[in-house]
Amino acid sequence: MCGIVAYVGDRTAYPILIKGLQRLEYRGYDSAGIALLNGETHVYKCKGKVKDLQALAKDKDISGTVGMGHTRWATHGEPSDRNAHPHQSMNGKFFVVHNGIIENYSHLKKELQNRGYKFASDTDTEVLANLIENIYLEQKVSAELAVRLALTRVVGAYGLVISCEDEPGTLIAARKGSPLVIGIGEHEYFLASDATPIVEYTDKVLYLNDEEVAVITRDSLDLKNLLNDSKTPEIQKITLSIDHIDKGGYEHFMLKEIHEQPLTIQDTFRGRIAMDESKIFLGGILDVMPKLINAKRIIIVACGTSWHAGLVGEYLFEQYARIPVEVEYASEFRYRDPIIYPDDLVIAISQSGETADTLAAIRKVKETQATILGICNVAGSSISRETDAGVYTHAGIEIGVASTKAFTSQITVLTMMALVLGSKRQTLAPELYHHLIHELIQVPKKIEEILKEEEKIKAIAAVYKDVSNALYMGRGLLFPVALEGALKLKEISYIHAEGYPAAEMKHGPIALIDENMPVLALAGNDTSYEKMISNIQEVKARKGKVIAIVSRGDKTIRKMADHVIEIPECHEAVSPLLAVIPLQILSYHIAVMRECNVDQPRNLAKSVTVE
């Protein structure tokens, strides 16, 4: 949700800002802007993408060694030139880039209007710029104190970079709820919403914590909280490499990330499964293992694709570890009055580790004695830092807005956790434990086989690329995969798609079926197989088109379905990891054929740091 980048040092800021914004464009891409701050300040901003900003800045003065940039995902005010960041205060003293939402902006705006302030945009950010300026001018305090005083009046979330025209070599950064990373170089500092714009300049970073303010010049970084107490910067080393953030020859990040899955799943279990396949070792949760073993209930909180992974986790934990599980939308959970017991285990799943609702949900749980685990992909992210313990997914940076490899690595972690708990709680027989470890290890090779079917899946995409609706149905562990398949299709191709437990079809959705309706049927090779045959027959009886995902060698469904996509045989416990792959590929090709922007679908952003 919006990307921020900033630089202070000896280099020319412009190329660093532009490259940084391109890296952050996945976070929001409806408008972009920069401010170059040496001496006279130059602001260039426009509706559109970073390439439109580059065109705007062409032939303009782009000199300067201090600057800030922003790529926007609109919250307050439509995407437009005037709503693009950076925002300038009315008297031109302050420039602000902001990621987040100022919830009490309208109250503050009225107050400022009563003091004569006029506004040039519809944004909450401009309100903050003017609030800071008003305090600065009226109370005659330093820019940094004006920022801190203003922030004590703000309700909401912010990642901010601010500069004051009277102090041209200084950047002020602040964070509450929205991430901000500071890269530390030799006589230079880089600021960004995540580490991707920083990684090629330095591997030393500082993650700002909530309500921290950093005052940064070329030679100094002064860290404090809003109350002016000094804080000691905790400098960390990042391992992200530049190779992880290019397309590697693929047309889109999403396609690259789909194809990376045999490797990313291996990266998820690498070092966690003994070479002889005898056991799983999850170092990140070792300290809390007694609490996990004795947990009376697991509550999983997540959003979107991560919530679908949570549903897969529900089946696995209940089946193999015999612990009851509830899977909650974080956005609902945070506003309920949930009953949480001290021996509950709460698992937050989040690729980014920054999703505002998921973060708020775990903060609510922190008021109780329950144990909180995180399953995150982004190391050092807010959720990974605020949980008691956790397991990183190690899927590498995911840039495509549609989550693919993060989903399969989340499921890999959940599978390992369920097996560990099942083994330790003795609810899973040792033979089955070892067999399932073996099955998990075989998954990457089996995904490679599915990826070889891409041309066939592309041909099916060509048949259905113009449909308006699609249904997905699955049972058991494949029901969440049906939800995920439908989400993939709708978010990148804008085709309306819904996923259902197959047996629910006859309670309503079946009314939608006619000769124009494709139905994706996910058939496991377990006890639900016969029932899925009946469900497919029900669809065919109403002239629906069936695209079935079946186990290799299946003969029965092949005779009924319009198209079949085979996946290698596997144990049902790992079937979600295989069955989702053809659905990702199908959605990808349909979106490409519809000329949609696959990596940056409309209205979406990769990391949803506002509620």
Kindly tell me the number of DSSP H helices and DSSP E strands found in the chain.
19, 24
- DSSP 8-state code for residue 209: P
Q: Which residues have a Cβ under 8 Å from the Cβ of 540 and sit 6 or more positions away? A: 546, 560
Closest separation in Å from C-beta 17 to ligand M6R: 25
Please provide residue 114's backbone torsions phi and psi, each rounded to the nearest 5 degrees.
Answer: -65, -25
Q: What is the distance between the terminal CA atoms of the chain, rounded to a whole angstrom? A: 10
Q: Pick the stretch among 39-47, 105-113, 297-305, 559-567 that binds ligand M6R (CB under 6 A).
A: 297-305
d(CA 38, CA 65): 7
Q: Does 303 bind ligand M6R (CB under 6 A)?
A: yes
d(CA 306, CA 487): 12
The residue type of 417 is: M
Give residue 212's Cα distance to chain centre. 23
The one catalytic residue in 93, 291, 405, 606 is 606
Q: Out of 99, 125, 350, 584, which residue is the one contacting ligand M6R (CB under 6 A)?
A: 350
Site map for ligand M6R, 431-470, x if CB under 6 A?
Answer: ----------------------------------------
Q: Does 420 bind ligand M6R (CB under 6 A)?
A: no
The arrangement of strands across the sheet holding 518-522 comes to: 496-501, 469-474, 518-522, 545-551, 563-567
Closest separation in Å from C-beta 403 to ligand M6R: 4
The one catalytic residue in 2, 164, 303, 570 is 2
3-class secondary structure, 204 = strand
Is 49 considered catalytic here? no
Q: Pick the stretch among 272-280, 345-353, 450-458, 576-584 that binds ligand M6R (CB under 6 A).
A: 345-353
Closest separation in Å from C-beta 480 to ligand M6R: 13
Closest separation in Å from C-beta 575 to ligand M6R: 20
Confirm if 54 and 14 have CB atoms less than 8 A apart: no
Closest separation in Å from C-beta 354 to ligand M6R: 7
Confirm if 281 and 604 have CB atoms less than 8 A apart: no
- Considering only residues 244 to 273 of the shown chain, the ones binding ligand M6R according to CB under 6 A are none
Q: Out of 125, 261, 268, 358, which residue is the one contacting ligand M6R (CB under 6 A)?
A: 358
Confirm if 73 and 83 have CB atoms less than 8 A apart: no
Q: Does 485 bind ligand M6R (CB under 6 A)?
A: no
Q: Does 352 bind ligand M6R (CB under 6 A)?
A: yes
d(CA 420, CA 49): 46
Confirm if 132 and 162 have CB atoms less than 8 A apart: yes
Closest separation in Å from C-beta 435 to ligand M6R: 30
Q: Does 384 bind ligand M6R (CB under 6 A)?
A: no
d(CA 20, CA 32): 12
Task: List, in sequence order, the alpha helices (H) in 381-528.
Answer: 382-386, 405-424, 430-451, 454-464, 478-493
Query: Cβ closer to ligand M6R: 321 or 349?
Result: 349
- Considering only residues 140 to 179 of the shown chain, the ones binding ligand M6R according to CB under 6 A are none
Query: Cβ closer to ligand M6R: 52 or 611?
Result: 611
Closest CB to ligand M6R: residue number: 304
Closest separation in Å from C-beta 28 to ligand M6R: 13
Query: Cβ closer to ligand M6R: 89 or 607?
Result: 607
Q: Does 403 bind ligand M6R (CB under 6 A)?
A: yes
- Which candidate, 127, 134, 167, places its Cα nearest to that of 149? 134
Q: Out of 305, 412, 415, 535, which residue is the one contacting ligand M6R (CB under 6 A)?
A: 305
Closest separation in Å from C-beta 45 to ligand M6R: 26
Confirm if 495 and 468 have CB atoms less than 8 A apart: yes
DSSP string for 553-564: T--HHHHH-SEE
Closest separation in Å from C-beta 303 to ligand M6R: 4
The residue type of 461 is: A
How many residues of this chain bind ligand M6R (CB under 6 A)? 17
Query: Cβ closer to ligand M6R: 75 or 89?
Result: 75
How many other CB atoms are found less than 10 A from the CB of residue 180?
25
C-beta contacts of 210-213 below 8 A and 24+ residues apart? 210/175, 210/176, 210/177, 211/151, 211/174, 211/175, 211/176, 212/174, 212/175, 213/144, 213/147, 213/148, 213/151, 213/172, 213/173, 213/174
Confirm if 486 and 522 have CB atoms less than 8 A apart: no
Site map for ligand M6R, 173-212, x if CB under 6 A?
Answer: ----------------------------------------
Site map for ligand M6R, 591-610, x if CB under 6 A?
Answer: -------------x--xx--
Query: Cβ closer to ligand M6R: 358 or 535?
Result: 358
Q: Pick the stretch among 131-139, 229-237, 389-397, 401-409 that binds ligand M6R (CB under 6 A).
A: 401-409
Q: Out of 34, 174, 397, 402, which residue is the one contacting ligand M6R (CB under 6 A)?
A: 402
Q: Does 351 bind ligand M6R (CB under 6 A)?
A: yes
Query: Cβ closer to ligand M6R: 402 or 532?
Result: 402
Is 2 considered catalytic here? yes
Strand partners, 349: 375
Closest separation in Å from C-beta 11 to ligand M6R: 32
Closest separation in Å from C-beta 413 to ligand M6R: 13
d(CA 114, CA 117): 7
Please provide residue 335's backbone torsions phi and psi, each rounded to the nearest 5 degrees.
Answer: -105, 0
**Catalytic sites, residue numbers:** 2, 606
Q: Applying CB under 6 A, which residues contact ligand M6R?
A: 303-306, 350-352, 355, 358, 401-403, 487, 491, 604, 607-608
